Structure 1
């Protein structure tokens, strides 16, 4: 098994050091995923850019959490499931919704459920979503903008999920309360 280095702002390539320093300043620590991504400043910067853009999307409150958890569950990413479960609870998504997302179950909120279903269809159908699924999403009050917004989140999570699979990223202590296995 290839062992990936978990960098910090002192060991990372020069181009990644300021990004890691900023993450430490913002979060108080550098999550292992970012430390691994730092080996490639381009991967780290790409993930950061996708993350920043996804946070600006027009999805309703809780919608981003739904995308992150749905993609991570479908991709079987233990690391991202723990991180995004923790963050979803901190951002106000109720524990019943987080539990349902972790189990792949329907959500009680109709708009969040529409996002979950559409995200699931995007991932399982590899983007070739059946028209009836697209129409169900639109019928729930969403438009082409939100279709594309979901795709930004899917791209973001696919990148991190695959890195975590390849690197076998160890879970940070901050997220162990929400540990998850596929």
Structure 2
């Protein structure tokens, strides 16, 4: 990104946490999910975990990756997406986070019926795990928002 984020600076207090987060980020980047779906996971998990820092950061990164602005705004607002494939990822991630991994069978079946696989489910778990580390760190540390994310500042209304 061209700079060390304040999140990475905070995480550096535990080199293991920082290394673990960066390893998960690298692995999630290589996962089987389409590029836009990865952004859906990051933003949805961060919204559900009420992480102001991560919603701003991932909104910025999603827009830079050409995720449509209306999709990013819907995610920030916790609203459904019009694209059925992306909505399936949003919904599954939301249920995964809010139900702490206890996803009901009908939600699993709906996700699979949308054309996704069990591997995609495991990859979403990886993304949620990654965001849990950063979301919880930001909650504890009250991580200051980087200037690069300022245009996408977010808080739950």
TM-score band, normalised by the shorter chain? over 0.9
- Does 1 or 2 have the higher relative contact order (CA < 8 Å, sep 6+)? 2
Q: Return 54-63 or 81-90, whichever deviates more.
A: 54-63
Which residue matches 2:26? 52
Q: Does 2:56 align with 1:68?
A: no
Query: CA shift at 1:61, angstroms?
Result: 2.8
Q: 2:125 is matched with which residue: 151, 154, 168?
A: 151
Tell me, which stretches of 5 or more residues in structure 2 are unaligned? Answer: none
Q: Does 2:45 align with 1:95?
A: no
CA distance in 1 between partners of 2:43 and 2:137 (Å)? 16
Output one character per residue of 1:106-164: Cα deviation in whole Å (capped at 9) or x when no partner: 11111110000000110111101000000000000011100000000000001100000
Tell me, which stretches of 5 or more residues in structure 1 are unaligned? Answer: 1-26
Output one character per residue of 1:40-63: Cα deviation in whole Å (capped at 9) or x when no partner: 110000000100000011112300
Which residue matches 1:113? 87
Number of equivalences: 156
Query: CA shift at 1:171, angstroms?
Result: 0.2
SS at match of 2:35: coil
Query: CA shift at 1:32, angstroms?
Result: 0.1
Which residue matches 1:33? 7
Of structures 1 and 2, the larger Rg is shown by 1
CA distance in 2 between partners of 1:135 and 1:37 (Å)? 37
Tell me the C-alpha RMSD between the 2 structures: 0.6
SS at match of 1:62: helix
Which residue matches 1:125? 99
Output one character per residue of 1:62-94: Cα deviation in whole Å (capped at 9) or x when no partner: 000000000000000000000000000000100
TM-score (norm 2): 0.98
Runs of 4+ in 1 over 3 A off after TM superposition: none
CA distance in 1 between partners of 2:90 and 2:120 (Å)? 12
Q: Does 2:140 align with 1:166?
A: yes
TM-score (norm 1): 0.85
